[in-house]
Structure 1
Amino acid sequence: MESPPPELIVGDDRISALPDHLLLDVLERLDLREAVRAGALSTRWRRLPNHLSRVHLNVGQFQGATPLEAMDAFVGAARALLAVVSPAEGMCERGALKVLALEFYISSPHLSSIGRLVEDVVSSGLTECLEFCLSPAPSSCAILLLAGIGQQFMSFSRAYPVAFSWLTRLTLRRHAFGNSDVTDLINACARLRHLTLNCCMRVDRHSALKIDVPSSGIQELEFSSVACTRIELISVPKLRQVGCEGWLFNPPVCFGYVPELRVVKLYSKAKAWQRVPFALSECLSRSATNLLKLHLDFLHQMIWIQPEHPKQLTAIFRNLTSVFLLGIFSECDLNWTLFFLEAAPALQNIALSRHSCIKTPQHSAEKTNVVWEPSKDLKHLNLKVLLIDGCEDEDKVTNYTRLVMERAVGLKRIILRGQLPCEDCNAIDPESSLRRSQVDEASRHRIKERLTCGSSSSVDIIIC
């Protein structure tokens, strides 16, 4: 039952006279800190923050001379906001907490308080989204301490199984895991759909991180700078998206049973010690027949995949509709990318970006050209759009574009754009990014002329 607004008297503000559900709508459009401040303005607003349907608390928003003091303030705020309010106060059901996101440090003195608070919240059965983001306190990030951090976290997850059974999204930063820790964690989190591991590692860095969760509903996995020999997704039947960035050894991920996989994103700079390049068929599973989108970003360094015969990939790529090949260094030939056309009959979109960064990271693998000759009888029926960023090299881009026009008989649109801004180049030479991102009018005219000369194609060509 909704509580009636108080009578408006002279001097009262009209906003405070609104009913509770409208005032909550106002508060939920504010930053949480502003919402709490608004709650301190008057007795009319004071109890409203306890009925927000979405709460996001980040320890980084709290001040303290030490991380422990910041966590003291974080836990105090959590207690104030998450305290169960008696229904006798007449609050409308609109205020039930549906989304709770907590970002905090692994701090032994505080984990039990957080666990109990969260279990009190989820015990109502109304929570739709529960998110944790955990990292070591800034003073405890040494590699030798990460194994202890990982053990503390696993103990925390086991001590509060009810809270973790309601978890829907989990991000872990700078943790070290034992043999089955990640598998055990996913199995314990029945509602977990998204897991991100950032700068994490195996306790034994010379071993694989194995995930075998045949009964889990997890849908998305993100790995960034995970220190292990490889990631083995043995059985993750509901998995729909995987992202992997900055790995140590090739191939970075090996897919097992992943029948629902839709999107794969791989981003990395090739290192001198890695076995490069590697074939995609070495890591992609033949069970991934529903794959729709593939993102590969080479970050302007060596191309770390090896073109291969279409028969190795056709079973996997039969439903692939979009390929994004990013960060190709400008000196590299582009014809090798056509092996995707040969292997993916349903492909509709190809996007390429080219750039030679003036900054070369330490320990980078040597850049070498990639050579590949497409089959002479290649005719692709479904490709509709070709997009290329980085068109300063007119010959290389126009020759490649004409080749695609010849082979992709259903092509509808070609979009050629100048080079995208590069933070590394801009840091070294602020003017270079601007100079190299522009294709002047004369160059546009020449490229378009060369693409249309002697061609009967009706493809729409956009150059910008």
Structure 2
Amino acid sequence: MESPPPKLIAGQDHDDRISALPDHLLLDVRERLDLREAVRAGALSTRWRRLPNHLSRVHLDVARFQGATPLEAMDAFTGAARALLTLVPLAEGECVRGALRVLILGFYMSSPHLSSIARLVEDIVSLGQTECLEFCISPLPVSNTASLLAEIGQQFMSFSRAYPVAFSWLTGLTLQHHSLGHSDLTNLISACGGLRHLTLRICRLLEDSSLKIDAHHSGIQELKFVCFRCTRIELVSLPKLREVQCLYWPYENPPVHFGYVPELRHVRLSSFAMAWQAPFALSECLSRSARNLSKLSLDFSHQMIWIQPEHPKNLAPIFRNLASVYLFGIFLECDLSWTLFILEAAPALLNIALSQHSCVKTPEHSAEKTNVVWEPSKDLKHVNLKLLSIFGCEDEDKVTNYIRLVMERAVGLKRIELDSEYFCEDCNAIDLERSKVHKASMRRIKERLTHGSSSSVEIIII
């Protein structure tokens, strides 16, 4: 027997089905909706307007708002922020405001709107219940010259100084297209006492000098530099730092130097090498204090290999807890056996993944591709490696020989995965015919490895 329909609240419009829901379901629906959908639903619900008092999460991004101009989009963004974040007095009989624990705002550096946004944020954090506060800030999308970006950078610094309470509660900050002075960045890190995640995307130092971050009392856990222009990055002291990403650096190698970073877990470097960037040894870059490093990701963008194989003793203190290594974008003509210098230096390594692909896209002024040669020690026997993953490798002989080499040296190997559908973001190389050819190639590699072999290693095509 079907259950009877829910009773509507007395005096409520029978067509207002949303208002028939209990508060906890309304909140769950609201926090899952896109902003525009939520606004449409709010137009139908007589109870929707008091829900902001109970939201636990708000994420607003100016890119989701429409307007004839960026300023009009910011008008709409700020209006929505007021509607959702303004502390409305509670009606008689209503419970106290719930905790707004997560607040994420993405907006433009637009002077007419910044004070309104900051005051709303400071009202929220003054309740003392916010656990995550993130800003993603970029200039208005107009033609930005170098001098204008420098002006925007100074405008941002004035903004941060004018609202110290909001910035002291920040846990995440992303700046895009800002030009800042070295002291601006160091002062900003000092002022943002709760900052855990900092991203600088297509930003630059005004003095075109090195960036030195010496913040022994900082709680920063993650740093991400994307096309960040300076002469070098030196992380002198960041005791809580766990992850660093450095992507597409336009200065000399190595892109970053680590100092005191005892909690460092993951390093990701991704770029193609320019003609003036010489290969470097990882021991020049990584710090011996990073003894908890467990994940290393290197992407060479199918161009020159910008690291040099080196003797395991140089890396052993740093790699003693390394568990996962990802080596992507190795150009097709390059030998693969050089990758074993990492295996030899990392006795706890559990899995290694690599990709090799004939990408046709070569950026202007790229460094010349040269083969990398390295002979592993004759007595190398690795007992902990369990998984070898191969993505997009097209030279059957090279891949087969490399896998045999790893199987011979990694005596604890349990599984080999051959990826049959590799997608290259640089050249968009994937289609049905290519996939069929690649899958057939993977099958032939598997047959060659298993034919006449007594190995218990599982080889699968995924």
Match of 1:245 in 2: 247
Contact 2:172 2:197 in 1 (8 A): yes
Query: How far apart, in 2, do the equivalents of 1:198 and 1:164 lie?
Result: 19
Quick one: which of 361, 366, 369 aligns to 1:367? 369
| Deviates most, 397-406 or 41-50 | 41-50
Letter in 1 for 2:330: I
Amino acid at match of 2:60: L
Give the distance between the partners of 2:406 and 2:90, measured in 1 at CA: 66
Match of 1:447 in 2: 445
For residue 80 of structure 1, what is the aligned residue in structure 2?
83
Q: How do residues 300-315 of structure 1 correspond to structure 2 at under 5 angstroms?
A: 300-315=302-317
Count, aligned residues: 455
Query: For residues 32-43 of structure 1, what are the structure 2 equivalents within 5 Å?
Result: 32-43=35-46
Write the mapping of 1:154-173 to structure 2, written as runs, cut at 5 A.
154-173=157-176
Alpha carbons of structure 1 residues 114 and 94: separation in structure 2 relative to 1, 3 Å: closer
Contact 1:39 1:47 in 2 (8 A): no
In angstroms, what is the RMSD of aligned CA positions?
A: 2.1
What one-letter code is carried by the residue in structure 1 that aligns with 2:389?
L
Tell me how far 1:89 sits from its aligned partner. Answer: 4.4
The aligned residue for residue 276 of structure 2 is 273
Q: Which amino acid aligns with 2:80?
A: A
* Alignment partner, residue 122 of structure 2: 119
**Residues 90 and 185 of structure 1: CA distance in aligned 2, closer, same or farther (over 3 Å):** farther
Question: Closer, same or farther in 2 for the Cα pair 1:435/1:269, shift >3 Å?
Answer: farther
How far is 1:438 from its partner? 3.8
Please, which of 238, 256, 259 is the counterpart of residue 256 of structure 1? 259
Counterpart residue number, 1:414: 416
- 1:151-171 deviations in Å (ceiling 9; x for gaps): 111111111111111111111
Contact 1:268–1:297 under 8 Å retained in 2: yes
What displacement does 1:185 show? 1.2
Q: Which letter maps to 1:357?
A: C
Asked if structure 1 preserves the Cα contact closer than 8 Å seen for 2:16 and 2:45, the reply is no
Q: 1:10 to 1:259 in 2, by over 3 A?
A: closer
Q: Determine if the alignment matches structure 1 residue 46 to structure 2 residue 46.
A: no
CA distance in structure 2 between the aligned counterparts of 1:156 and 1:114, rounded to whole angstroms: 11
Shift of 1:439: 4.7
Equivalents in 2 of 1:443, 1:67: separation in Å?
51
Residue type at the aligned position of 1:204: E
Is the partner of 1:420 in helix, strand or coil?
A: coil
Following superposition, the deviation at residue 68 of structure 1 comes to 2.3
State TM-score, norm by structure 1.
Answer: 0.93
Which residue identity lines up with residue 181 of structure 2 in the other structure?
A: G
Distance 2:86 2:301 in 1: 47
Q: Secondary structure at the match of 1:47?
A: helix
TM-score in terms of structure 2 length: 0.93
Distance 1:367 1:419, change over 3 A: farther
Q: Which amino acid aligns with 1:302?
A: M
Partner of 1:191: 194
State the alpha-carbon separation in 1 of the partners of residues 172 and 138 from structure 2.
15
Q: Helix, strand or coil: the match of 1:65?
A: coil
Judged with a 3 Å threshold, the aligned counterparts in structure 2 of structure 1 residues 362 and 117 are, in CA distance, closer, same or farther, namely: same
Structure 1 distance, partners of 2:338, 2:133, is: 44
The 5 A counterparts of 1:99-248 are 99-139=102-142, 141-205=144-208, 207-248=209-250
Q: Structure 1 residues 136, 459: closer, same or farther in 2, change over 3 A?
A: same
Q: Distance in 1 between matches of 2:75 and 2:442?
A: 60
Deviation at 1:18, TM superposition (A): 2.6
Distance in 1 between the 2:175 and 2:275 partners?
A: 28
Partner SS, residue 358 of structure 1 = coil
Overall identity of the aligned pairs, in %: 74
CA displacement, residues 413-436 of structure 1 (integer Å, 9 cap, x when unaligned): 11122351224434xxx7x75444
Q: Which ranges in structure 1 are unaligned for 5 or more consecutive residues?
A: none
Deviates further, 80-89 or 327-336: 80-89
The AA in structure 2 aligned to 1:409 is V
Q: Please report how far the alpha carbon of residue 329 of structure 1 lies from its aligned counterpart in structure 2 after TM superposition.
A: 0.8
Q: Deviations over 1:125-144 (max 9, x none)?
A: 11121110000101252222
Taking the TM superposition and a 5 Å limit, the aligned residue runs for 1:318-357 are 318-357=320-359
In the TM superposition, what is the alpha-carbon distance from 1:441 to its structure 2 partner?
A: 6.9
Aligned in 2, Cα 1:416/1:203: closer, same or farther, shift over 3 Å? same
CA 1:153–1:23 in 2, change beyond 3 Å: closer, same or farther? same
Q: Is the 8 A contact 2:90 2:96 kept in 1?
A: no
Amino acid at match of 1:284: L
Opposite residue 134 of structure 1, the aligned amino acid is I
* CA separation of 1:13 and 1:88: change in aligned 2, threshold 3 A: closer
Identify if the C-alpha distance between structure 1 residues 125 and 404 changes in structure 2 by more than 3 Å, giving closer, same or farther.
same
Where 1:180 maps in the other structure, the secondary structure is helix
Q: Aligned equivalents of 2:122 and 2:425: distance in 1?
A: 44
- 2:14 pairs with 1:11: yes
Q: Cα 1:463–1:15, aligned 2, differ >3 Å: closer, same or farther?
A: closer
- Deviation readout 1:222-242 (Å, 9 max, x if unpaired): 110000111111101000011
Q: What do the CA deviations read for 1:239-261 (whole angstroms, capped 9, x no partner)?
A: 00111100012110100100000
How far is 1:363 from its partner?
1.1
- 8 Å CA contact 1:24, 1:95 repeated in 2: no
Partner of 1:459: 457
**Unmatched runs of 5 consecutive residues or more in structure 2:** 1-7
